[in-house]
Amino acid sequence: MKTLNKGKARDKDLSLIAINIAKLYEEDINFLKIIDLLDELPLRKDYKESVKMISQIIKRGGSLEEGFSIDNKLFPGFFVSMISMGESTGKISKVFSSLGIFYEKMELIKKKLINTLTYPAILIVALIVLFMFVIFFFIPNMTNVYEEMGNGMPKIYNSISKFTEFTIEYPFITSIFVVFWGVLLPYILFKNYFKKYIRILCAKIPIYKLFNEYLVISIMSVIVNSGINISAGINQCCNCNLLNSIAKERLIIMNESIMRGKSIRDSMDKSKLFSKYTLAHIKLGEESGTIDERLSVLQEELFLRLGINMDNLLKLIEPISIITMAAIVIVFLFVFILPLFNNIFSI
């Protein structure tokens, strides 16, 4: 089968496709016509090309699962697996609607995360630029000033000046040094020694734990709406690259408990991922037979809580970043500028 493989999956496009298929299907439009209408959506170019290929597959009598399997990069395994489940249970409209909501919210979370990390990223870039300026422009110029004044240079000026000269004279050796100490060694240490401890630390961070709780609840909502057995659905999801290692590990623990005959609520409790509030909702859903509604409510509430927490984190990061930048500027003034003025006034 011909595949596209031109780009990575984008939540915005997946959401647009899923939501519009669900809406058009509810209006009793056949799938062949629906797929043709998707070409009118503001999709990325490779998604538009994939829609045309899906249409050709359906015209030849292929299933939706076969159509959306044309490219596992544009259409992730989770997306295709849920479509397959929806086709087998006859609840394809609910599946597409749930997928649309899931990817729409994931897109919003990613945008908020980018907004949260933008300010620290700008600060880091500014610090790197400042460091390069000090090393390659400020220190060499100040060295000349000290020589003209006839005074001895401070030790830090002398050390940095020698480092700058070595870097300019031996760029290849410097590059190897930077790559080894700045990239290769940290990667080896992280992969072989620190990864386990970082995972344990991340699992204890409230906002990260909340995100994993939201992610698993959202996946469960899609599975339940597909009409398939929840344990079978979880197995499918664990085989996809949708979950991070912590969420996947907890979901496997939960599924093993379900397969042993435990209730969904008790199995979720055993995974140690969910809050008491979430567990209470699930218990009510199991007892009243409205687990799908409870999951939808939880998905929305957890999404709102996650958004609020990310906004609060952004409010915390901004002043910390400003204070950090101010502290670095003060250190710069004391270490590099103040000695110069002391020498000037001592003449």
Position 1 pLDDT exceeds 60: no
DSSP state of 152: P
Render 61-115 in DSSP notation, one character per residue: T--HHHHHTT-TTTS-HHHHHHHHHHHHHT-HHHHHHHHHHHHHHHHHHHHHHHH
Q: How many domains does the chain have?
A: 2
Are the CB atoms for 35 and 48 separated by under 8 Å?
A: no
- Do 30 and 138 belong together in one domain? no
Q: Provide the percentage of residues in the chain whose pLDDT is more than 70.
A: 94
Enclosing domain of residue 66: 11-75
Look up tokens 């000269």; give the residue: 165
Look up tokens 């919210």; give the residue: 105
- Do 31 and 120 belong together in one domain? no
Helix 77-89 to helix 230-238 angle (10° resolution) is 160
Helix 206-226 to helix 195-204 angle (10° resolution) is 80
Q: Which residues, 6+ apart, have CB-to-CB distance to 323 below 8 Å?
A: none
Are the CB atoms for 174 and 166 separated by under 8 Å?
A: yes
Q: Is residue 181 part of a domain?
A: yes
- Do 41 and 127 belong together in one domain? no
More confident residue, 161 or 301: 301
Joined tokens for residue 232: 């079978």
- Distance, in Å, from the CA atom of 7 to the CA atom of 47, rounded to the nearest integer, reads 9
pLDDT tens digits for range 2-16: 444 456 889 999 999
User: pLDDT tier at 297 (50, 70, 90 boundaries)?
Assistant: very high
Give the domain-ending residue among 26, 41, 75. 75
- Distance, in Å, from the CA atom of 18 to the CA atom of 34, rounded to the nearest integer, reads 11
Position 266 pLDDT exceeds 90: yes
Give the domain-ending residue among 75, 93, 128. 75
- Do 52 and 135 belong together in one domain? no
| pTM to 2 decimal places | 0.79
Q: Which amino acid is at 179?
A: V
pLDDT tens digits for range 140-155: 777 777 777 666 667 7
- Do 168 and 213 belong together in one domain? yes
- Do 121 and 157 belong together in one domain? yes
User: pLDDT tier at 294 (50, 70, 90 boundaries)?
Assistant: very high
CATH number at residue 288: 1.20.81.30
Residue range 45-61: average pLDDT?
Answer: 90
Q: Is residue 285 part of a domain?
A: yes
Are the CB atoms for 152 and 146 separated by under 8 Å?
A: yes
Render 164-175 in DSSP notation, one character per residue: HHHHHH-HHHHH
Q: How many C-beta atoms surround the C-beta of residue 26 within 10 A?
A: 12
pLDDT tens digits for range 215-265: 999 999 998 988 888 888 888 888 777 778 888 888 899 999 999 999 999
Nearest to 26 by CA among 75, 96, 102, 99: 96
Q: Is residue 93 part of a domain?
A: no
Nearest to 108 by CA among 327, 299, 341: 299
Are the CB atoms for 12 and 36 separated by under 8 Å?
A: no
- Do 205 and 342 belong together in one domain? yes
Position 321 pLDDT exceeds 90: no
User: pLDDT tier at 345 (50, 70, 90 boundaries)?
Assistant: low
Residue range 152-167: average pLDDT?
Answer: 78
Q: Is residue 91 part of a domain?
A: no
How high is the pLDDT of residue 304? 93
Residue range 88-94: average pLDDT?
Answer: 88
Residue range 182-211: average pLDDT?
Answer: 81
